[in-house]
Structure formats: C-alpha cells, structure tokens
C-alpha cells in the first residue's frame, strides 16, 4: 500500500538511479523525486506505521502529526527548489547526494523513536559533507573534515544520550524528553551542535561558505532545521533554551557586520535566525512554538533565496567577497531584484514572510514576561537588517562599480529563486492561506495590526538611518580582504599544537620501538647462527652412548610423572 511507504525512502532510494541517467531524462527524474515524496506526504493524515521491536524497545519508523507534517512538506519543497538551482552544477555527485540528504531530513522529522532518529541523524551527517567536498581544493577538504567531526560528534553524543535515557526511562519513544536526567542533557547537547548553539556554531560558518555554489543552498535548508524540529519535539518549554536562543540572535550580528565573504555573512545570519526559533521553543507556549515552526518554514525559503542569489554571483563571477564585488545590478538585475526580496523577508518588512513569523516569537516573549529577552530580540531584528537586509544586496550589487560585467544568472537558477521569492511573498501577504492553518496549534494571532506594522517600520527606518550615517561618516566597518577569528580559534590553535607535539612524541616513541625491536631481532639471529651455524651445537654429531643416555633419562622422567599423577 502507498500509505505504508516511508516518505523518506522516495528520495533516498530514488537517488540510486540518478548516476545511471543522463540529459533531460536525468533532470526530469531528479525533479520528480521530491514531488513524488511531497505527494505521498500530502496524501497522509495523522498516522504512525513501521512499528517494530529492537532490543526490547518499541520503535516507530514513521510518525506524522501536527508538528512533523509541516517540516515534511517544507523539506520536499526545499529539495525541489534546490535541485532546480543545482541543474547547472558540473559535479555529478551533487544531485544524488542532495537527494539522500533531503530524504534523511524527512526521515528524521518523521521518526517516532530515538533510534530511528539516530539513524537518519547519521545519514544527514555523512551525506551532507560531500556537498562541501564537491567544491574540491584544500580549503574545501579541510572545512569538510572539520564539519564531519562536528556532525559525527553530535551523533556520538546523541547515541550515548539515547542509551542513558532509555536505561532510565525504559523507552526510546521520541516525545518530550526534558532535562530531568543526564541522558536528556546529552541529547539536548547533541541537538544543540546541529542547531549551532553559541560556542558550538563554528562548523556552520566554516563549512557552508566552502561548499559549492549550490551546495550551500541545500546545507542551509536541512541540518539546522532538523535540529530545530528535534528541540521542539523533545525540549519545548525548557527555560535554558530561551537564553541560549536570545544569545544566538545577538552575537552573530557583530561577526556578520565585519565579515567580507558574503556567504559567511549569511552563515552568521542563519545563526541569528535560528536564535529566534530556539528562543520560541524555550518559551514553550503554543504561540511561541507556532512562531518557531513558522519561522523555520519561512527561513528555509528566504535564506535559501539569499544563498541562491549569492551562489549565482559566485557562479558567474567566481568571487563572493564584498570588497571585490559591486555594480552587478547592471549585468545581473534579475538576480539583484530577487535578492532584495530575500533581504526584505529576512528583515521582516511588512508583507514579507519574516514579518508574520518572527512577530509570533517576539509577541510570545512579551506576553510571558521575558522583557529582557524581548529587548534582545528587538536588537537582533534591527541588526539583521544591517547585515542581511542591507549589506548583502548593497555590497554585492550596488556599493560601487567594480567593473565586473557578466551574464545574468542562468534560467534554471532564476526559476528556483523566483519560486522561493513568490512563496516568501505569499506567506507574508496571506499567512492564513497556507502557513498559519498548518502550524501545530491553532493560530489566533493577528500580525497586521497598526501598532505592529508601524513599530516594525520604525525599527527598519532607524536601522537604515544608522547604516547610512555610519557609511557616510566612514565609521561602518570596511570590506577588507581578511580572516576574522571566531571562537574556534581557541580550540583549533591549541589542538593543532597539541597534535603536533603528540605527533613528535609519537615519532620518537616509534623510533625507540623500532630500534629496540631491531636490536632484539639481531640478537636472536646471532644466537640462532651460533647454535645452527658451522661448529654450532645442533650441527655436532652425537655418539650412540650419549643418545641412549638421553633416551633413558626421558623415559625415567615419564615414568615418574605416571606414578605421581
């Protein structure tokens, strides 16, 4: 029966045939897989199937309910848009890897137990790293290795947490986990790595900018959003997440403002937006969780749109540094216009998608008495307009004429960006059409009140005024060809020195072992030569009497053993 087919299997198993196809048949097949998976999910209501027992624990392969349904739809839509954008990719590996990656994300959000979640968690890690390595080169390889270490480390923590939690709770059901046991803390930390918690975030800003021009689009859509779903499923209402999320919204702003690599700016911007989601999950009310889920949905669209626009710039110019770009609106006007739609959406302009989802979280914070948190979110809302709403389109397309003249983005890229832009605007203009009715809880919130619209316009106006003032007075941080140090420097430099010293000690120990082994071997060889060589003991001819004497002695020894046993 169709209803018993796991939706994740459509893209994961379908990816096997992709390398065997060529040309238009390959394109049609690749684009048909996420649409087929989406159709399958749309045909299902609330359901559970694929139930089995492993090691005495009940497992459920697929669970579709109010929380997982929207994420399932979202990941199929994101896969479809990303695959259209990636049609120009020269790397044959990208399409099958992206399909496995997207399928694993679907499987993770539909997992009904922690063991199934862990399996898809690891598939996510292993498949996604190839989107970084596909760019080739030493930088991509090293960034991919660091990315893989972080993702596998998250998986290891998750596995240990599951074992500890299952032993205490007697179940591996994936529901409300809480922080009442060490297993719960380990599981939340594993989720936190993938959600880019503060001090655990550098894998994102390290690896995403080193991926291919289309790889970053897929990476921005799945890994972190699976983590957001997992936190919402297992840790909604945990107060610690409120402050973790608030911190996530604030600190990336300072890094993003001084960063030159525009895709790395988007990486920091992603952490900023994830902070709103984590904060909403921590508040835990129906309004807050709805806001977190709605913002996750919108973020995949508008952040994907921004990554696509920068990917198109990278594809055409071979460069993504703000210091080297500018004036591209003359040769890439359509890409510039679509990028501005993404910038308006992430900045929460009224009638764009960020406005109708971010306000749910901020409203929940205010209603629940988190006044300090609300002020932090307000600061973050103004800050994101600086680094993503203004900086990205301004330095890529308008800041100055760099003299770069290229063709407009290819048609497939423009189609993908247009789909994302239209969906972002539809959700922003008419949230009650699709977004609000499909959130986990009933929505009674009205985003288009005069007070909310006017206050948001004021925030955006004064933020833009501050940018103009800083730019005109020369106080705005210039775009420099430089490397900005993040907190991973604290770990990577000492670890590198430790590894080098450990390697030196290991080489010295290896030399000592080799020398000692060779000395022992030479001694054994020389002794054997003395015994078996010319004049050695074993070469001599023994007399008959001596032989008889040894035989008699051996017989006497055996007789003694027989009588005393």
- Exposed/middle/buried for 189, CB within 10 Å: 0-12, 13-18, 19+? middle
Which pLDDT does position 496 carry in this prediction? 63
Calculate mean pLDDT across residues 82-106: 94
Confidence of residue 556 (pLDDT cuts 50, 70, 90): confident
Other CB atoms within 10 A of residue 432 CB:
11
- CA atoms of 188 and 158, how far apart (whole Å): 8
- CA atoms of 70 and 166, how far apart (whole Å): 28
Residue 34 tokens read as 């996420």
Calculate mean pLDDT across residues 301-330: 94
- pLDDT of 209 higher than 80: yes
Which pLDDT does position 81 carry in this prediction? 97
- pLDDT of 108 higher than 70: yes
Per DSSP, helices labelled H in 347-487 are 353-367, 371-384, 391-393, 411-429, 450-472
Confidence of residue 130 (pLDDT cuts 50, 70, 90): very high
Using alpha carbons, list the distances in angstroms from residue 499 to 18, 23, 147, 152, 462.
41, 47, 18, 20, 49
- CA atoms of 84 and 81, how far apart (whole Å): 5
Q: Alpha-carbon Rg of the chain, whole angstroms?
A: 31
Most confident of 12-21, 508-517, 549-558: 12-21
Residue 105 tokens read as 């994300």
CA-based nearest residue to 262, from 347, 341, 329, 324: 324
pLDDT tens column, 444-455: 889 999 988 998
552: Cβ contacts below 8 Å, ≥ 6 apart: none
Element (H, E) at 509: helix 488-532
Residue 355 tokens read as 């406005």
- pLDDT of 488 higher than 80: no
Per DSSP, helices labelled H in 110-238 are 114-133, 138-169, 182-194, 202-207, 215-221, 223-235
Which pLDDT does position 525 carry in this prediction? 62
Least confident range from 170-174, 365-369, 386-390, 393-397: namely 386-390
Which pLDDT does position 168 carry in this prediction? 92
Which pLDDT does position 1 carry in this prediction? 45
Which pLDDT does position 565 carry in this prediction? 53
CA-based nearest residue to 452, from 520, 542, 561, 356: 356
Q: Enumerate long-range contacts of 93-98, CB under 8 Å, 24 or more apart.
A: 93/130, 93/134, 94/131, 94/134, 94/212, 94/214, 94/215, 95/15, 95/18, 95/26, 95/30, 96/15, 96/16, 96/18, 96/19, 97/15, 97/127, 97/128, 97/130, 97/131, 97/134, 98/131, 98/215, 98/218
Calculate mean pLDDT across residues 457-475: 82
- CA atoms of 496 and 489, how far apart (whole Å): 10
Which pLDDT does position 136 carry in this prediction? 87
pLDDT tens column, 28-40: 999 999 999 999 9
pLDDT, averaged across the chain: 89
Residue 225 tokens read as 């959003």
């Amino acid at each position: 029966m169709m209803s018993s087919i796991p939706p994740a299997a459509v893209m994961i198993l379908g990816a096997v045939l992709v390398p065997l196809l060529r040309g238009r048949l390959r394109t049609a097949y690749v684009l048909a897989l996420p649409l087929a998976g989406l159709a399958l999910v749309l045909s299902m209501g609330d359901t559970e199937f694929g139930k089995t027992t492993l090691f005495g624990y009940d497992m459920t392969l697929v669970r579709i309910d109010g929380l997982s349904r929207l994420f399932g739809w979202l990941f199929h839509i994101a896969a479809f848009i990303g695959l259209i954008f990636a049609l120009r990719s020269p790397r044959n590996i990208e399409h099958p890897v992206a399909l496995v990656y997207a399928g694993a994300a679907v499987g993770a959000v539909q997992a009904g137990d922690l063991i199934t979640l862990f399996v898809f968690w690891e598939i996510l890690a292993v498949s996604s790293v190839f989107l970084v390595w596909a760019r080739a080169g030493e930088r991509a390889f090293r960034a991919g290795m660091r990315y893989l270490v972080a993702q596998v480390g998250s998986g290891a923590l998750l596995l240990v947490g599951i074992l500890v939690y299952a032993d205490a709770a007697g179940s591996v059901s994936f529901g409300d986990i809480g922080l009442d046991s060490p297993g719960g803390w380990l599981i939340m930390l594993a989720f936190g790595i993938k959600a880019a918690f503060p001090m655990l975030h550098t894998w994102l800003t390290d690896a995403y900018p080193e991926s291919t021009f289309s790889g970053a689009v897929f990476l921005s859509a799945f890994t972190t959003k699976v983590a957001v779903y997992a936190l919402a499923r297992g840790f909604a209402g945990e107060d610690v997440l409120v402050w973790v999320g608030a911190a996530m919204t604030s600190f990336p702003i300072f890094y993003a403002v001084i960063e030159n690599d525009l895709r790395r700016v988007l990486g920091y911007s992603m952490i900023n937006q994830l902070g709103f989601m984590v904060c909403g999950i921590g508040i835990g009310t129906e309004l807050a969780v709805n806001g977190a889920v709605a913002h996750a949905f919108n973020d995949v669209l508008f952040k994907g749109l921004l990554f696509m626009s920068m990917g198109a710039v990278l594809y055409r110019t071979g460069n993504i540094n703000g210091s080297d770009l500018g004036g591209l609106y003359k040769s890439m006007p359509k890409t510039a216009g679509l990028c501005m739609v993404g910038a308006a959406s992430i900045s929460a302009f009224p009638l764009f998608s960020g406005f109708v989802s971010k306000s749910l979280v901020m409203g929940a914070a205010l209603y629940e008495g988190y006044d300090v948190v609300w002020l932090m979110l307000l600061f973050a809302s103004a800050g994101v307009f600086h680094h993503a709403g203004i900086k990205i389109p301004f330095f890529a397309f308008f800041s100055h004429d760099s003299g770069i003249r290229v063709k407009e983005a290819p048609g497939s890229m423009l189609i993908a960006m247009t789909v994302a832009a239209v969906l972002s605007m539809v959700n922003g203009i008419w949230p009650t059409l699709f977004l609000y009715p499909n959130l986990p809880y009933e929505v009674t919130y009205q985003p288009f009140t005069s007070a909310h619209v006017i206050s948001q316009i004021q925030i955006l106006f004064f933020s833009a005024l501050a940018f103009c003032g800083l730019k005109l007075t020369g106080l705005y941080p210039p775009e420099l060809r430089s490397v900005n140090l993040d907190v991973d420097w604290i770990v990577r430099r000492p670890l590198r020195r430790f590894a080098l010293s450990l390697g030196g000690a290991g080489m010295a120990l290896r030399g000592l072992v080799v020398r000692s082994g060779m000395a022992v071997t030479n001694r054994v060889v020389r002794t054997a030569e003395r015994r078996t060589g010319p004049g050695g003991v074993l070469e001599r001819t023994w007399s008959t009497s001596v032989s008889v004497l040894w035989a008699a002695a051996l017989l006497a020894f055996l007789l003694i053993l027989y009588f005393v046993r």
